[in-house]
Each structure stands twice: as structure tokens, then as C-alpha cells.
Amino acid sequence: MLRSGGIGQPAGTSREEEQQLGLAADHFPNGRGAATQGSAVRCSLIIVTKCRPELLRRSLECSLQALPEDGEVIVVDGDLEHSAAGVVGELRARHQARQLRYMASKPGITRQRNVGIDAARGEILVLVDDDCTFGPGLLDSLLSAYEDPLVVGATGHVQGPPGGRVGSDPNSRLRWLVLGGGRQGTMSRSGFRNPIVDVDRPRDVEYMSGPLMSARRELASAVRFDERLTGYGLAEDDDFSYRLSRRGRIRYVPSAVVCHHELGRQHIDARQIDRMQVINRAYLFRKNFPQTLRARAAFASLLAILCAHRALNREWPGLRGLAQGIWHVYRPRFVRGSRAQGSRDGASPEASGGR
């Protein structure tokens, strides 16, 4: 796994740069609420962001209301222009008793999350997206799961905006049946999620949705996010949480609720996103799951279902992207090149054909 930087000093930022921004991790206006290296921190809430300061502001307001006294919030900014710095500075001035830290980073959701993991001091790490809002009881609900020493991670119910697409509800029974009807909250043999239909029932799960994830710091530092999944990431949450679930229990806590507004979707290239979805999922399928004939057939079948879904919703750019991704993954070996060489060179899923 590629590392982003040493603990407490992630790659892409320096103490001098933070001081120039007035946002050094141990600097608080008027000397109040200083977070010293020796202070006990129970919970670190990590938010990664890039070029979305107003969305970040709303998420930070919720975070500071939900934060326990022995907690900290870490903002990891992937914008080279430091667009989040002003928001963090403003809220820090208004909430001087809170531990609110700013980290600059090179862009990329997996890289930025690893930067946050390396910088965190809390025993429990909670990751939320910068376009999420939630109530003040969120962290208390999540942290209660960790009273069980066997629990290594916890997540909750992610509420998305209402969608007008056919099959857009991630918790519908129809979606669960189409995807195979496996045990709710687990990963199928093909590397796709078995949806949670009974959202009000706590359970053990094998995946966490990216807008709301948490883990014990020691294990998060060991598992880490796969930095081969560059840019927007896509399925990086499934990869991280599934590998974490191999080390202990991950609990789904229905009282922990976030609203994921998905306000960046209108700016996303649907063709490119669906192309990378196929490539990344093929890479993670081969990385994490046994390559049996049944599993391979199930994976191919689910790709066909995705294509049918895009066609049913008349999402033609997305359908073209899926087709391009499938060609990229399954194209003849003489076109694809050496899979082994790509693996030795540490190539991304894009460069190695999802292999």
C-alpha cells in the first residue's frame, strides 16, 4: 500500500505552510482549546474536501455540534489553492474550545483519507463526506458500538436525496433481489453489495458507505485506503471496509444517520464515472474475492444489469461509459498487454486493465 506521509506530518503539507495559513494543527486563537500531543483524544472526525468551501461549512457546523469534548475535527484539503482554509479559520475563531485542525494534501480521496488517518490522534476515527449533514447525536451513536472490544468499525444509515431514476433507492427490496438476495449488509461473491433493506435493524455488516465510515485508529492505519484508486476513488469505501471486516466486527447502527446531499453529481462526467466504476470494481473483485467460475459469472451478470439499468433510465453517456469499461477489462490480452508487468510496476486499475 502506498503511504502518503509520516504520522502527524502528511505528504503535501508542512508546518511552515500551515503556519502561513494560520492553521497549524496545534495553533488556536488566544491560546484556548490548544490540542497538545499529550492530550487524550477519544474521537477524530475526518472530512476530506476539494474546492467546495460552502458545502464544507455546513458539514463542519454539524461536526462541531456533534463533537464530544474529547474529540477533534480534521479537514484534509485537496485544493492546491487552499479553498477550505478560510472556512476552517472562521469556524475555529467561533468555536475556540473545539479542536479543529487543517491539513493540506495532494488531491485524491484515497490519498486525502490516508493523510487524515496519519494525522489523527483519536482512538476512534470517523469519516464523513463534505456534502453531508447530520444531527448532534451522530458520534454518540457510533461510539457506543465500540463498547464491544470485538468491534473494529461502525457505520449507520446514509440518506440520499430523492431520485427520479428507476432503481435509485439503494435500500429497496427490488434492488436487493436483483443483486442476488444475499444476507443484508454483506458483500456478494462478485464484489457487489447486498443492500440493507431493513434499515431500522442493527446488524453486523461487511461494508460501509463512504459518506459515513468509522474504525479503530490502529486498524485503520494498518488497512488504509488503496491509493491505486485515484481521483474520485469509486468503490474505495467497499474495499477499505471489506478488508477491515476481515479483522473483526463492523456494526450497522441505525440511529447513526447522515444526509448525503450528493451536490457534486451535476458536475460529474457520467461516461467517465461509469467507465471507472467497471474498471475499479473489476480490480477490487480480483483483489479481494476468490476467482471461482460462479463468482466470475456473477460479476459479468451484474455488469449486464448495470447496463440494463442505464438503458432503462435513458442514461446514454453512462451506458457508453459502462461499455468502454467492460471493453477495457475484457479486451484481448494482446491489446491489454502484460497483466503481471502492470502489477509489478504498481499500476493503477486504469493502467492495468482492472487487473
Cα distance between residue 246 and residue 260, in whole Å: 27
Tens-digit pLDDT profile for residues 229-269: 986 778 999 999 999 999 999 999 999 999 999 876 666 78
Q: Class of 5-266 per CATH?
A: alpha beta
Residue type, 189: R
For 72, the enclosing helix (H) or strand (E) is strand 71-77
- Whole-number average pLDDT of the chain: 86
Is the Cβ–Cβ distance between 309 and 167 less than 8 Å?
yes
For 187, the enclosing helix (H) or strand (E) is none
For 65, the enclosing helix (H) or strand (E) is helix 53-66
* Residue 24 pLDDT greater than 50, yes or no: no
Tens-digit pLDDT profile for residues 145-170: 999 999 999 999 999 887 777 777 88
pTM recorded for the entire structure? 0.86
Cα distance between residue 24 and residue 22, in whole Å: 6
* Residue 58 pLDDT greater than 70, yes or no: yes
